[in-house]
Amino acid sequence: MNIRTFLFGMILTFGSAWLLAVVVPYYKTREMKPIPYDEVADEKTGFYFPKRSGTIAQGAKVYAENGCYVCHTQLVRPTYAGNDIHRDGFAGFKADPDRGDTRRETIALDYMGETFAQIGVMRIGPDLSNVGTRFRKVAVDLTSSKKEAEGEAFDADMTVTAESLLYAHLQNPRATVEKRWSTCPSSAYLFDENGKPKGEAVALVGYLMSMKKDDAVPASISFGPKPAAKWVCHHWFLAIFFTMSDPKQLPTIRPDLDESINVTLAHSGEPTSAAARENAHPGYTRESLSIMVFCICSVILIVAGGALGKAQGSLFSYASTIRPDYVRGKAPGVADDAVLPPKAILDVYVKKGQSLYSAKCNGCHMSDGKGDGANYPSLAGSAWVNGTSERFSQVILNGLQGPTSTGKVYGAGVMPAQGGGMNAQDLAFLMTFVRNSFGNSVGDVISPEQAQAALDVAAARKNPAAPVTAEELKGHDKDLSGAKIDPTTLIDPITFKPAPAK
């Protein structure tokens, strides 16, 4: 291949993607200014600015330091991208007692006042865009229930506050039966020995209580159809046929907040105030990337791909890599009912454990098991990993708070529990892999019987929801009970049962 053509295609492809996905959005959002209300359309004057109160700056710092952004988002998606709008309380309320239907998607202006928009990495826990208003409603409902139950005996001290609910959640996320499934780690270290919240807990709760992204936005950013003619893309011929016409002559397509109506179907008539604020189908809205930009990017990618393909001979040719008439089949001489040859149990468990490690541990401890040295410790040569098996198992199942085996505290000092959804067989795979990888050479196999013993020990703790500490682990400095397995034992790699003797 011509190196000049190759470099030109690579630069054109990745450069255009970087320009449109990074540079353009940056320059469009770096200097956001408040949007004025239209006196006629909005029936009010002034500027739209998110109404938030609380220790936002300090609380946002505590929020980031404790890694809350890893499991929680702060983004209500448009209806065409998810069902956030239809989860009552997540995007506002369908029947707010003061303002009616307040549900809407998140816009860029909702993050004004914050140094960094903590949109989040993934949504393992619930979205927090409106967690403040959501907890306030729960507190009001609980207080009303108490009033009905207590009657005249009810007094002001029995009032439930949203702040008290958040403090209780931070101390023990699995304190109630309804939340026993939660994988959120306890933040008990934010409270003193008497259970009183420290300054960090007060700031964090204040920040969470400020979460309110349901204010009515001005009509100018309501994402309604443009009044003038524009390029539009019919949703039934998306990215195939384009037409230049007046939107007034086309059927209006807007997501509907009524759960009984499919949001992708067109409907006529005037939309509700909440529906008008919703982002319509991408072909009819003012998206950050217009349909013309989409077409231009497509042409660029096609041209760049064509240049690479021409230089190679054919873009989609497999003649040079696949033999003609190749069909994958059984190995020569292998019977149809033949089973896979047995393998050493250590090799099988290590291979299975590697997949579990990639899913549960790779994000923090890295693929080489060495962590980053600042926020996540190394598993290579760790005294707890290579030491007694019961101690190591309790760290995996319950998480860890405070110093590690070296006495050092990494990051926020809390490792979340990894025991959720893990059975004895999975735990045996994972422990065997870590103890025999990354330079660790314990050479043993954790059996399912031993792993079940570890699960029983974790369930018998006084406070199963709290992470273990180095002090508590001193009581687990022993090997797990149960029969040990010879690492050279041959087993079926599919059923994991001992191979029949020959």
- What is the distance between the alpha carbons of residues 110 and 217, in angstroms, rounded to a whole number? 10
Q: What is the pLDDT of residue 382?
A: 93
pLDDT band at 339; cut points 50, 70, 90: low
Lowest mean pLDDT segment, chosen from 69-78, 264-273, 402-411: 264-273
- Which residues contact residue 28 at a Cβ distance below 8 angstroms, ignoring those fewer than 6 apart? 288
Closest CA to 144 of 131, 160, 132: 160
Instruction: Determine the Cα–Cα distance for residues 483 and 93; give it in Å rounded to an integer.
Output: 56
- Whether 212 has a pLDDT exceeding 70, the answer reads yes
Do the Cβ atoms of 217 and 277 come closer than 8 Å?
yes
Higher pLDDT, 327 or 414: 414
pLDDT band at 224 (very low <50, low <70, confident <90, very high): very low
- Top pLDDT among 459 and 298 is at 459
pLDDT of residue 108: 81
Give the up-direction half-sphere exposure of residue 142: CA atoms within 13 A in the CB hemisphere: 13
pLDDT of res. 440: 93
Give me the mean pLDDT over the 153-158 stretch. Answer: 85
The pLDDT, as a whole number, for residue 403 is 92
pLDDT, position 170? 92
At residue 247, the pLDDT reads 39
Q: Does the pTM exceed 0.75? A: no
pLDDT of 315 higher than 60: no
pLDDT at 92 over 70: yes
277 vs 128, higher pLDDT: 128
Residue 157, both tokens: 């001290």
pLDDT at 54: 58
pLDDT at 197 over 80: yes
* Alpha helix (H) residue ranges in 30-90: 56-65, 68-71
**Spans of all domains in the chain:** 50-209, 343-491
Question: Per-residue pLDDT for 145 more than 80?
Answer: yes
CA distance 444 to 108: 54
Helices (H), 313-438: 345-360, 362-365, 383-386, 389-398, 424-435
pLDDT at residue 313 greater than cutoff 70:
no
Q: Which two tokens stand for residue 197?
A: 């919240």
Average pLDDT over residues 376-386: 93
The yes-or-no verdict on residue 262 having pLDDT over 90 is: no
Give the CATH number of domain 50-209: 1.10.760.10
pLDDT of 463 reads 87
Has residue 220 got a pLDDT over 90?
A: no
- Work out the mean pLDDT of the chain and round it to a whole number: 78
Is residue 429 predicted with pLDDT exceeding 90? yes
Per-residue pLDDT reduced to its tens digit, 480-491: 998 889 999 999
Domain 343-491 has CATH 1.10.760.10: yes
Res 222 pLDDT > 80 = no
Q: Return the ∠ at Cα 423 (arms to 420 and 424), rounded to 5°.
A: 135
The answer to whether domain 50-209 and domain 343-491 are alike in fold is yes
If we measure between CA atoms, which residue out of 4, 13, 15, 6 comes closest to residue 298? 13
Q: What is the pLDDT of residues 466-482, one digit of tens each?
A: 899 999 999 999 999 98
- Of 110-119, 198-207, 286-295, 409-418, the range with the highest mean pLDDT is 198-207
> pLDDT: is 301 or 241 the higher one?
301
> 319 near 463, Cβ under 8 Å?
no
Token pair in block for residue 98? 């003061």
> For every residue of 232-264, which 3-state class applies, written as one string?
ECCHHHCCCCCEEECHHHCCCCCCCCCCCCCCC
Res. 289: pLDDT tops 90? no
Share above pLDDT 70 across residues of the chain, in percent, rounded to a whole number: 76
